[in-house]
């Protein structure tokens, strides 16, 4: 697959220097392998990989990309993402560990976009706050979770978000009430209005510490019993079709264990496509297409990907 990496970078040295004006050397990486930054462990190199630490740096990166007409992708923990084997011809801005602060104030938690949901759930548990247990095992960041209204086990982000701090496409920082975020099933206004999530306030309530711990333990056990957590994946591969469960449709179509190259439909949970070893993005893409085609042929149901795609396929 060597030929995949021969494509020319779109980013010139003088453009990289613009970022060096306000970012430290260890915040800038060139030709960074995206396989190291996705839970699928798949993906070719990004031309430029930036790791901001402050809101001001995020604003400046976005401003430079707009002024220089550079493609920009916002990355969190890479837990819902399939990156092309060819990589990404543009700038990836990772809002994750360098931008992951949280503070607990009475029954509220304020956290920046790069904070892991597991960290927020642990902080809530330690403060005897209930309402966030559902998110403890979701392997993403707060920013990504707000963007797609992440949910599990009967809970969704829309149930607990009181305000969201965003950077608008015009470069303005705004606080948007949760009720105005347009939260729906795996959606919000973030993508539609080209917003960048900087952080959010989460509103919880006092609960019994032991009950909170027990709920989190129970959900973690259910996850590990039913989901193929021992393999790299991007979580649920397809959205839930109305009136159905994607995993059951795939299983009933006889596709448990179906494999293309290193990509495989998990026998443990057919809603997950896993990297069974050495899978490429092309393998995953072809497998997903096969699954969609076979399920549609049998049930007339169109499966829509929940996984996001980055780069050329």
Q: Let me know whether 168 and 259 are in one domain.
A: no
What CATH number is attached to the domain comprising 282? Answer: 3.90.78.10
Would 91 be classed as within a structural domain?
yes
Question: Tell me, what CATH number does 165's domain have?
Answer: 3.30.465.10
**Is-catalytic flag, 169?**
no
- The pairing of strands 88-94 and 45-50 is parallel
HSE, CB side, 13 Å, CA atoms: give it for residue 185.
Answer: 8
Q: Is residue 221 part of a domain?
A: no
Cα gap 114→171, rounded to integer Å = 19
Active-site residue, from 55, 68, 306, 312: 306
Q: Are residues 106 and 78 in the same domain?
A: no
List Cβ neighbours of 235 (8 Å cut-off, separation of 6 or more). 39, 79, 80, 138, 139, 272, 306, 307
pLDDT of residue 184: 94
Q: Are residues 267 and 168 in the same domain?
A: no
- Separation CA 66–CA 60 (nearest Å): 10
Q: Is residue 48 part of a domain?
A: yes
Q: What pLDDT is stored for residue 10 in this prediction?
A: 75
Q: Which two tokens stand for residue 91?
A: 């700038």
Q: CB burial class (10 A; 0-12, 13-18, 19+) of residue 179?
A: exposed
pLDDT of residue 239: 94
Residue 29 included in any domain: yes
Confidence at residue 7, expressed as pLDDT on a 0 to 100 scale: 58
Biggest CA–CA distance in the chain, Å, is: 57
Q: What is the mean pLDDT of each run of 10 residues along the chain (313 residues)?
A: 49 95 97 97 97 97 96 96 97 94 97 97 97 94 96 95 97 97 95 95 97 96 94 96 96 98 98 98 98 98 96 94
Instruction: Output the pTM of the full model.
Output: 0.93
Cα–Cα dist 203/163, whole Å: 9
Catalytic residue chosen out of the listed positions 186, 213, 223, 308: 186
Residue 196's domain comprises 100-211
pLDDT of residue 4: 39
Q: Which of 186, 211, 236 is the last residue of a domain?
A: 211
DSSP letter assigned to residue 98: G
25 and 123 housed in the same domain: no
**Structural contact between residues 156 and 183, judged by C-beta atoms closer than 8 angstroms:** yes
pLDDT at 156: 96
Domain boundary among 98, 132, 148: 98
Answer yes or no: do 74 and 93 share one domain: yes
Q: What is the DSSP string of 254-272?
A: T-TT-EETTEEE-SS-TTE
């Amino acid at each position: 697959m060597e030929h995949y990496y021969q494509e020319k970078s779109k980013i010139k040295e003088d453009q990289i220097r613009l970022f060096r004006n306000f970012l430290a050397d260890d915040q800038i990486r060139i030709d960074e392998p995206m396989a190291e930054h996705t839970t699928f462990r798949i993906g070719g190199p990004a031309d430029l990989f930036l790791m901001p630490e402050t809101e001001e740096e995020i604003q400046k990166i976005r401003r430079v990309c707009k002024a220089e007409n550079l493609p920009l992708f916002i990355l969190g923990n890479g837990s819902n993402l399939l990156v092309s084997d060819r990589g990404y011809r543009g700038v990836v801005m990772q809002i994750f560990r360098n931008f992951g602060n949280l503070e607990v104030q009475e029954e509220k938690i304020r956290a920046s976009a790069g904070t892991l949901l597991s960290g927020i759930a642990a902080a809530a548990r330690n403060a005897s706050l209930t309402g966030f247990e559902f998110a403890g095992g979701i392997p993403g960041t707060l920013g990504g979770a707000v963007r797609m209204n992440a949910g599990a086990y009967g809970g969704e982000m829309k149930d607990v978000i009181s305000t969201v701090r965003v950077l608008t496409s015009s470069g303005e920082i705004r606080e948007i009430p949760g009720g105005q975020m347009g939260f729906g099933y795996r959606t919000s206004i973030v993508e539609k209005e080209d917003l960048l999530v900087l952080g959010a306030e989460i509103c919880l309530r006092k609960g019994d510490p032991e009950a909170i711990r027990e709920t989190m333990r129970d959900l973690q056990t259910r996850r590990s019993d039913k989901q193929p957590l021992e393999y790299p994946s991007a979580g649920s591969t397809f959205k839930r079709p109305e009136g159905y469960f994607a995993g059951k449709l795939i299983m009933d179509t006889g596709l448990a264990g179906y494999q293309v190259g290193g990509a495989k439909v998990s026998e443990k949970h057919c809603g997950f496509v896993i990297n069974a070893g050495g899978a490429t993005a092309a393998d995953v893409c072809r497998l997903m297409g096969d699954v969609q085609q076979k399920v549609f042929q049998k049930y007339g149901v169109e499966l829509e990907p929940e996984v996001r795609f980055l780069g050329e396929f």
